[in-house]
Amino acid sequence: MGPTRKPNVCRRLSRRALGCFSRDAGVVQRTNLGILRALVCQESTKFKNVWTTHSKSPIAYERGKIYFDNYRRCVSSVASEPRKLYEMPKCSKSEKIEDALLWECPVGEILANSSDYKSSLIALTAHNWLLRISATTGKILEKIYLASYCKFRYLSWDTPQEIIAVKSAQNKGSAVARQAGIQQPVLLYLAVFRVLPFSLVGILEINKKIFGNITDATLSHGILIVMYSSGLVRLYSFQAITEQFMQQKLDLGCACRWGGTTGTVGEAPFGIPCNIKITDMPPLLFEVSSLENAFQIGGHPWHYIITPNKKKQKGVFHICALKDNSLNENLFTVTASGRVVKKSFNLLDDDPEQETFKIVDYEDELDLLSVVAVTQIDAEGKAHLDFHCNEYGTLLKSIPLVESWDVTYSHEVYFDRDLVLHIEQKPNRVFSCYVYQMVCDTGEEEETINRGS
């Protein structure tokens, strides 16, 4: 049963103007977001397709900014038409940005430079440079040369907004070595940094001689996660590994002698030596088997999400308590961002013959569940974005997307406060971006048009 009392926006605005709230800034923020949620969901509010653009390179979105040309051109999405924030100078193929993360200023910390109080883009280039770029001007603020002994390719947060992990491509070895049956013992490297100011934790070598025939490894929340082709997932403490197996503490910008070579840590051509090499199997924290190594961990108390390791179970998720592996029998939906949203399935059930759910996510600031549903009409698909109350599951708003939806293409849909953004990848590396903004339609415009016709 849903709530019967609707929030009154005018009353909330009046109370805010009079200061009728706690001095806690969080109360004011939650009130503001409550007002925005009421505006988003009211019947007269529409989401209008304000502009569309196409590109031959991938398009990325992060907190009101749309990135083109491998993150070298940044456009604000908070306008009725594209507004370029910056465009970095053209570069060679080796200097292109391959991956990036948005870093935002920490609250309550005293920072060395005034520029540090503004958002930055942490970027990884094709030739192994780690850059910190101003998110508003595109100016390079810091740069670190990683190494020449491997190709770094991926960026991720180990601890969000605090510690990053830079992951190398997997070492396949030379074609001659593979033909001769010679396997490379080192699968990949993980470089770990604290951000702002950049400080090195270390570079970890992932070696098959220690872990066996592993297929991948990653770092998340201080946990080294190692994966096997059988579906087995094993967890180890990265801190314990660092304390036991770090060969030498390294500091960025300091002179270092390593392997008979002297240089400055983090500067070319010396870079950063691999200073964490595991020589014995570290203590195992936990292991579990999951289909395609699908595994997520989090919550309080700690829980983990897996897919039972059988092909017929694909699309089925189990939530289990970490302390005793007990299965949580409550019904749930796992969103693309990894959040778990408890919901009665009969409220959000699709009919494959009429429409199917393609993307489900949770907007945490507005406490709304967003669902992209696609209806196939002959050869063309049409999609709409639905907002559901996260507490009761009731449908609050449905937004039709004007562009057609081809289910064979790759799609991303972002709902960010008063913005809806759809990024589509078509064949032959053609990328399209459709931007929708919230419009409070009072009906006056329609009446004016009718009177003039």
**What is the rounded distance in angstroms from the CA atom of residue 223 to the CA atom of residue 298?**
11
What residues make up the domain containing 308?
299-344
What is the C-alpha radius of gyration for the chain, rounded to an integer number of angstroms? 25
Exposure class string for 97-115: b at 16+ Cβ within 10 A, else e: bbbbbebeeeeeeeeeeee
Whether 143 is covered by a domain: the verdict is: yes
255 and 393 belong to one structural domain: no
Query: Residue 304 forms beta bridges with which residues?
Result: 297, 320
Q: Pairing state of beta strands 223-228 and 163-168? A: unpaired
DSSP 259-308: TTEEEETTSTTT-----EE--SPPPP-EEEE-GGG-EEEETTTTEEEE--
131 and 222 belong to one structural domain: yes
- pLDDT attached to residue 317: 82
Whether 254 is covered by a domain: the verdict is: yes
Q: What is the distance of C-alpha 214 from the center of its chain?
A: 25
How many domains does the chain fold into?
4
Task: Name residues of the chain where pLDDT drops below 50.
Answer: 1, 4, 333, 335-340, 344-347, 444-453
Q: pTM for the full model?
A: 0.82
The domain boundary, picked from 286, 314, 329, lies at 286
Whether 63 is covered by a domain: the verdict is: no
371 and 305 belong to one structural domain: no
- pLDDT attached to residue 296: 85
143 and 193 belong to one structural domain: yes
273 and 196 belong to one structural domain: yes
- Residue 204: its H or E element: strand 199-207
Query: Residue 421 forms beta bridges with which residues?
Result: 414, 435
∠ CA 161-165-171, nearest 5°, is 160
248 and 145 belong to one structural domain: yes
∠ CA 405-306-292, nearest 5°, is 65
**What is the rounded distance in angstroms from the CA atom of residue 200 to the CA atom of residue 197?**
10
Whether 65 is covered by a domain: the verdict is: no
Contact 102, 121 (CB under 8 A): yes
Q: Pairing state of beta strands 255-258 and 232-237? A: unpaired
DSSP 19-72: T-S-S-HHHHHHHHHHHHHHHHHSTTEEEEEEEEEEESS--EEETTEEEETTTT
- Crossing angle (nearest 10°) for helices 9-17 and 25-41: 150
281 and 366 belong to one structural domain: no
How does pLDDT run across 351-371, given as a tens digit for each residue?
555 678 788 888 888 889 999
- pLDDT attached to residue 23: 59
Sheet containing strand 140-145, strands side by side: 97-103, 120-125, 129-134, 140-145
137 and 240 belong to one structural domain: yes
Contact 349, 371 (CB under 8 A): no
Whether 83 is covered by a domain: the verdict is: no
- Residue 214: its H or E element: strand 214-220
Whether 109 is covered by a domain: the verdict is: yes
Across 324-418, the runs of DSSP E, i.e. the strands, are: 333-334, 340-341, 355-363, 368-377, 380-389, 395-404, 410-416
The domain boundary, picked from 278, 312, 344, lies at 344
229 and 134 belong to one structural domain: yes
Query: 213: helix, coil or strand?
Result: coil
50 and 37 belong to one structural domain: no
Contact 276, 266 (CB under 8 A): no
Residue whose structure tokens are 């589509």:
424
Exposure class string for 368-404: b at 16+ Cβ within 10 A, else e: bbbbbbbebeeeebbbbbbbbbbeebeebbebebeee
Q: How far is CA 449 from CA 240, 314, 332, 452, in A?
A: 69, 52, 47, 5
Structure tokens at 129: 């440079």
- pLDDT attached to residue 447: 45
127 and 267 belong to one structural domain: yes
**What is the rounded distance in angstroms from the CA atom of residue 184 to the CA atom of residue 175?**
12
Side chain identity at residue 179, one-letter code: Q
